[in-house]
Structure 1
């Protein structure tokens, strides 16, 4: 049995993961075995690591090389460079990934940029589909400094929306303006509404304020709880707010992910989507990187590399 290194949870918030030796995964018939060159953790994964359940093997965003094609003949062949979105297990030297959750990489997109794409990019694409056509519509994005915020800002602006963003610092706002944001504010209350669509990811006290910024008949799509604070909505305030407003919950999950990954790769290759990577480091730096990500000290995405990458 082949052995490999993987990162496993420690339950220690100061150092959330540590290296351990493990068996190399044995792929299911519809899975390819990937030699992982780079992976990107997500802030939600840092929360899972605070009280890790038994058998948790984190890692959903990976890029690397197919070293064993799927036995059922589906997906890319051995030797193909890919980006993938497995259910778990990506913080390791090797990962088994369903072929419907893989996309082939062109030569000019390296593993670092590719690894930053899956969860945040798929979420951004599916959020905009949920919002419907945004051409000529006013869109507010809260929590825009994260990976999803950067992608959705650029995609919505390119699709013809007038995008306002909420972000913590001026420097982050400058980058979002470069990606197409028409207005930048640092608090939801400062946003100059009304907005046809609000994409809300912070929760807590911010969500009721965001609702108040909606135009009559507008829609707020709630897709995150970055503040980690429960939301309280006053029903009387809601009745006195925008007439006919809709509040809907959104979760990105639902395979297959391969077609959306292929779309993201095509947009990056065409210069129409620019992964915002705030940190690149060797995977021996994963533990401190996870702490920085949890504490919101990284702009956009963090990417860890397992060795030589293209």
Structure 2
């Protein structure tokens, strides 16, 4: 089968190689991959990728070999999965606790855009707690996670302000329920009960300054790739008793959250925002464009077997 592997080259981050099909563990199914999604964090990982790295964590496709231990769906079932690695290939082995069955109304392109970004959004909002009637600020809002957070937070009753680089990127977020779109954290009209911060660098202390007394900043990314510096004396002059909390989405099992995301999409309550769909022969170029912020939302590649 064909698989994409890292090259170590910035302008051509991956290339095809021929390898045997993976041999699933007893608790894994073998999936014929129809579509997979890229994540911007993966573009950074590829810059320093070890030769043994098998990239790819967001896939959708067809079960062609059931799990030997009897768990999970049977052969012929369409699924969305979140494997630990190896998803950018014709076939991938996925633990049965990290996949969900797809209904006929959700195609593999939309489904593959759900796992990492969607699970992150769900778990981030659970960490934030009830948002009904609360003022929320979201930075770095025009990526895959940001679109899901915006739609889910607005539906939960939050008064949401989002930060995007350009008005064009903010337009869709307003349609998804954002109450206000700004293009710099400094322009956000606080104070906010909750700040969801994903850019790091100089934006983090700015975000902290926007929190009300007793509010919380949940720091879940560093898209700027710039180290953040917090001045304790400046903090003393800002909101009292502010909480700064680090968040990371990881922690299997993922199946229940994937199933929840699928139900939301099926019921029209969540809309995967896909900025580009292309054949997987264009993966290298798409990775570069995603890294350089030329794609809004998710980027999805199809293998030719997609439905």
In the TM superposition, what is the alpha-carbon distance from 1:308 to its structure 2 partner?
3.4
Matched with 2:14 is 17
SS in 2 for 1:58: coil
- Aligned mates of 1:253, 1:228 — CA distance in 2: 20
Matched with 1:58 is 55
- Aligned mates of 1:217, 1:70 — CA distance in 2: 49
In the TM superposition, what is the alpha-carbon distance from 1:54 to its structure 2 partner?
3.1
- Aligned mates of 2:15, 2:170 — CA distance in 1: 35
Matched with 1:192 is 189
Matched with 2:34 is 37
Unaligned runs of 5+ in 2: none
Regions of 4+ moved over 4 Å: none
Matched with 1:181 is 178
Matched with 1:259 is 256
- Aligned mates of 1:8, 1:287 — CA distance in 2: 10
1:216 aligns with 2:213: yes
1:141 aligns with 2:138: yes
Matched with 1:111 is 108
Q: Does the aligned pair in 1 maintain the 2:33–2:305 contact within 8 Å?
A: no
Matched with 2:279 is 282
1:95 aligns with 2:89: no
1:204 aligns with 2:201: yes
In the TM superposition, what is the alpha-carbon distance from 1:183 to its structure 2 partner?
0.2
- Aligned mates of 1:231, 1:47 — CA distance in 2: 18
In the TM superposition, what is the alpha-carbon distance from 1:219 to its structure 2 partner?
0.4
Matched with 2:24 is 27
Aligned CA RMSD, in angstroms, stands at: 0.5
- Aligned mates of 1:309, 1:33 — CA distance in 2: 16
1:231 aligns with 2:228: yes
- Aligned mates of 1:146, 1:5 — CA distance in 2: 29
Residues 181-215 of structure 1: CA deviation (Å, up to 9, x unaligned): 00000000000010000000000000000000001
Matched with 2:126 is 129
TM-score scaled by length of structure 1? 0.98
Q: Does the aligned pair in 1 maintain the 2:106–2:266 contact within 8 Å?
A: yes
Residues 53-106 of structure 1: CA deviation (Å, up to 9, x unaligned): 131000000000000010000001100000000000000000000000000000
- Aligned mates of 2:77, 2:141 — CA distance in 1: 34
1:309 aligns with 2:306: yes
Matched with 2:247 is 250
In the TM superposition, what is the alpha-carbon distance from 1:41 to its structure 2 partner?
1.0
Unaligned runs of 5+ in 1: none
Task: Give the count of matched residue pairs.
Answer: 307
- Aligned mates of 2:44, 2:83 — CA distance in 1: 18
1:72 to 64, 69, 72: 69
SS in 1 for 2:208: helix
